[in-house]
């Protein structure tokens, strides 16, 4: 069945060989060229459209960034004025009045920060950790 289809296809090409050698008319060439030109123009327009959208997005982001900097700058001035208007009073706190759990948290965070400032030095791959006996 497959051979029959191949033979029919071969015969179709052989019988129509003279049509493949014919040159298209001038009108057919003009239509083909106009269609290709239209397609090329659409591609150029599409590229320009994408480029303009990217530029618009970049401009919008730059505008938002500039506005946020301007507003943030204004807030710093307002905060400085408010701080000058307020009178802050520092009072001494007694540790006896503090919550015991809060004191433990503060002490733990201090120890943690000290450990982060002075990390444990690593040894080489030839060294190993051994449990030392307590000194008596």
Angle at 61 between CA 60 and CA 63, to 5 degrees: 65
Mean pLDDT score across all residues of the chain: 80
Residue 3 lies in a domain: no
String of DSSP letters for 53-88 = HHHHHHHHHHHHHHHHHHHHHHHHHHHHHHHHHS--
Residue 16 lies in a domain: no
Domain range spanning residue 30? Answer: 24-92
Residue 12 lies in a domain: no
Residue 42 lies in a domain: yes
Query: Which tens digit of pLDDT belongs to each residue from 67-122?
Result: 888 887 666 666 667 766 777 677 777 777 778 888 888 889 988 888 877 776 77
pLDDT above 90 as % of the chain = 10
Residue 76 lies in a domain: yes
For the chain, what is the domain count?
Answer: 1
**Nearest alpha-carbon partner for 93 in 83, 111, 84, 106:** 106
Residue 19 lies in a domain: no
pTM metric for this prediction:
0.31
Residue 99 lies in a domain: no
Residue 101 lies in a domain: no
> Residue 43: which H helix or E strand, with range?
helix 26-85
């Amino acid at each position: 069945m497959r051979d029959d289809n191949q033979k029919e296809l071969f015969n179709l090409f052989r019988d129509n060989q003279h049509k493949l050698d014919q040159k298209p008319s001038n009108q057919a060439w003009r239509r083909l060229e106009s269609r290709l030109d239209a397609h090329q123009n659409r591609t150029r327009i599409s590229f320009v459209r994408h480029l303009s959208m990217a530029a618009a997005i970049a401009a919008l982001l730059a505008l938002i960034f500039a506005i946020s900097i301007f507003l943030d700058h204004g807030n710093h001035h307002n905060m400085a004025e408010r701080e000058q208007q307020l009178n802050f009073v520092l009072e001494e706190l007694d540790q006896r009045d503090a919550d015991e759990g809060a004191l433990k948290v503060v002490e733990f965070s201090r120890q943690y920060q000290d450990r982060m400032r002075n990390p444990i030095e690593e040894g080489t791959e030839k060294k190993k950790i051994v449990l030392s006996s307590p000194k008596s």
